């Protein structure tokens, strides 16, 4: 180890030099390390550090032989006006074991940073790879290449990322060869805009089938208009799905669209969904209108949802229509207002069931549960009702009505339809071979 330090008595400029060498020698291991540091304050404060390590290993018992190298350097410079840093790391390894098995690896990493009154700039690079071979057969191989750049100031932030990676594996009866790519850019001005673009693409074919994933996201936000778009796709041997979402608007109106679909050798997993939501913040209130259409081989759903709230009125409406050749058709209506609630469910083959609550306060609330039989769909039949009215200044009259025939009629109707319900579910399971797939998964 050697070190020196010197300082000028006139200018107080200082210089430092440090050197260190270390060695280890063993029958099975040799290591050598060298470190050197130089620093001074002649023009600007600066320092340069280098570090190098080499080594080799020899294990005759398992016929393992290898060598490795590592080089690292760091440079710092600064003043009252700026600071800069440069770092570099390089490493590699080459080894064999049991004569036929070899491992190779490498790393190359650079990092730079510069900071002054105007802002910050930084770049980073990483390149790495590793390989494991058995004789001439490639067992595992991986490589990575990543580049990142960042610029930042009080008025703007910009970042760019580019990543690519490859992998390969051949283990027993499993083989795969994949490629991964990522590209991303962000441009952000805190007072005016945000623009971002990201794309991810992963492809991983293997002996089990093809697996892939793709996603793209785009954001463009300004004071006048906002737009966000996301699109994704996933592919596998059993299931393939597509998803797209978009948010677009300009105050006070915003719209959200969402679409999704899938395909599969298992028909039961296939579907299609298309939905949208519109939000309006005008007229001293808020309104939301939503629509969704869901399509499946065994049913389709059409849903409409409206929410409206202002200082004078509030309302919620939900309508859902389900059409199913495999099961049955169902129509659902639900409405909420300041003066009451109304909910109905209608099944053409069975009948109609409704709930009504009406009144501005609990003491004036009238409610009923009623139905309509399929044999007479135009006639309301009350199952249960509560009616409240004022009797005297501090008293209320509450009347409760209960149809005693309702439980018997409902149980009788359910008993008649149990065979049809069981047959319906049995046909559904047989059509999609659910029991067969369940047994395969169990095994």
Q: How many angstroms separate the CA atoms of 66 and 432, rounded?
A: 58
Cis status, amide bond into 252, omega within 30 of 0: yes
**In this predicted structure, what is the pLDDT of residue 277?**
95
SS3 380: coil
Contact assessment for residue 317 and residue 292, using Cβ atoms and an 8 Å cutoff: no
Q: What is the pLDDT along the chain (443 residues), one digit of tens a residue?
A: 899 988 887 777 888 999 999 999 999 999 999 999 999 888 888 999 999 999 999 998 888 999 999 999 999 999 889 999 999 999 999 999 888 899 999 999 999 999 999 999 999 999 999 999 988 888 999 999 999 999 999 999 999 999 999 999 998 889 999 999 999 999 999 889 999 999 999 999 999 999 999 999 999 999 888 999 999 999 999 899 999 999 998 878 899 999 999 999 888 889 999 999 999 887 678 889 999 999 998 889 999 999 988 877 788 999 999 998 877 888 999 999 888 889 999 887 777 888 888 876 666 778 888 888 777 777 888 888 888 776 666 677 778 888 777 777 667 766 776 776 677 777 766 766 666 655 555 54
Render pLDDT for 246-279 as a digit per residue (tens, 0 to 9).
999 887 889 999 999 999 988 888 999 999 999 9
Q: How many angstroms separate the CA atoms of 260 and 274, rounded?
A: 7
Contact assessment for residue 298 and residue 279, using Cβ atoms and an 8 Å cutoff: no
Contact assessment for residue 95 and residue 102, using Cβ atoms and an 8 Å cutoff: yes
Render pLDDT for 127-153 as a digit per residue (tens, 0 to 9).
999 999 988 888 999 999 999 999 999
- Residue 369: CB atoms within 10 A of its CB come to 17
Distances (CA, A) of 47 to 42, 73, 260: 11, 11, 57
DSSP-assigned letter for residue 338 = T
Q: What is the DSSP string of 405-440?
A: THHHHHHHHHHHHHHHHHHHHHHHHHHTTHHHHHHH
**In this predicted structure, what is the pLDDT of residue 389?**
72
Residue spans of the domains in the chain: they are: 415-443
Residue with tokens 């590699």: 92
The two tokens of residue 362 are: 């609990």
**pTM across the whole model:** 0.80
Quick one: which of 154, 231, 243, 148 has its CA closest to 186?
148
**In this predicted structure, what is the pLDDT of residue 413?**
67
Please enumerate in sequence order all residues whose Cβ is within 8 A of that of 344, keeping only pairs 6 or more positions apart, or say none.
331, 332, 333, 334, 352, 353, 354, 355
């Amino acid at each position: 180890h050697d070190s020196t330090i010197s300082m000028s008595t006139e200018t107080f400029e200082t210089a430092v030099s440090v050197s260190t060498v270390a060695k280890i020698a063993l029958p099975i291991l040799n290591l050598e390390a060298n470190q050197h540091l130089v620093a001074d304050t002649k023009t600007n404060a600066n320092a340069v550090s280098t570090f190098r390590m080499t080594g080799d290993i020899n294990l005759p018992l398992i016929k393992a032989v290898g060598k490795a190298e590592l080089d690292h350097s760091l440079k710092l410079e600064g003043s009252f006006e700026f600071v800069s840093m440069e770092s570099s790391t390089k490493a590699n390894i080459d080894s064999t074991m049991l004569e036929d098995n070899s491992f190779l690896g490498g790393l190359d990493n650079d990092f730079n940073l510069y900071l002054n009154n105007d802002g910050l700039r930084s770049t980073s690079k990483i390149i790495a790879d590793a390989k494991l071979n058995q004789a001439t057969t490639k067992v595992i191989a991986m490589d990575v290449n990543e580049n990142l750049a960042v610029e930042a100031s009080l008025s703007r932030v910009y970042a760019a990322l580019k990543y690519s990676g490859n992998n390969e594996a051949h283990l027993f009866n499993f083989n795969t060869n994949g490629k991964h790519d990522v590209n991303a850019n962000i441009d952000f001005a805190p007072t005016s805009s945000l623009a971002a673009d990201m794309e991810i693409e992963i492809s991983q074919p293997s002996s089990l089938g093809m697996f892939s994933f793709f996603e793209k996201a785009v954001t463009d936000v300004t004071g006048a208009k906002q737009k966000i778009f996301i699109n994704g796709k996933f592919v596998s041997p059993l299931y393939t799905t597509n998803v797209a979402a978009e948010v677009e608007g300009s105050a006070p109106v915003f719209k959200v669209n969402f679409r999704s679909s899938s395909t599969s050798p298992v028909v039961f997993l296939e579907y299609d969904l298309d939905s949208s939501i519109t939000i309006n913040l005008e007229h001293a209130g808020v309104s939301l209108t939503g629509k969704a259409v869901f399509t499946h081989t065994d049913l389709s759903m059409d849903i409409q949802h409206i929410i409206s709230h202002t200082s004078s009125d509030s309302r919620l409406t939900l309508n859902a229509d389900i059409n199913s050749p495999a099961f049955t058709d169902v129509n659902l209506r639900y409405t909420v207002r300041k003066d009451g609630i109304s909910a109905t469910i209608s099944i053409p083959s069975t009948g109609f069931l409704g709930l009504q609550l009406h009144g501005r306060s609990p003491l004036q609330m009238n409610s009923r549960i009623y139905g309509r039989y399929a044999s007479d769909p135009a006639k309301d039949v009350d199952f249960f009702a509560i009616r409240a009215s004022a009797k005297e200044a501090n008293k209320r009259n509450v009347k409760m009505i209960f149809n005693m025939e309702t439980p018997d009629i409902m149980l009788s109707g359910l008993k008649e339809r149990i065979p049809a319900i069981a047959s319906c579910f049995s046909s559904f399971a047989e059509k999609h071979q659910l029991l067969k797939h369940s047994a395969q998964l169990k095994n």
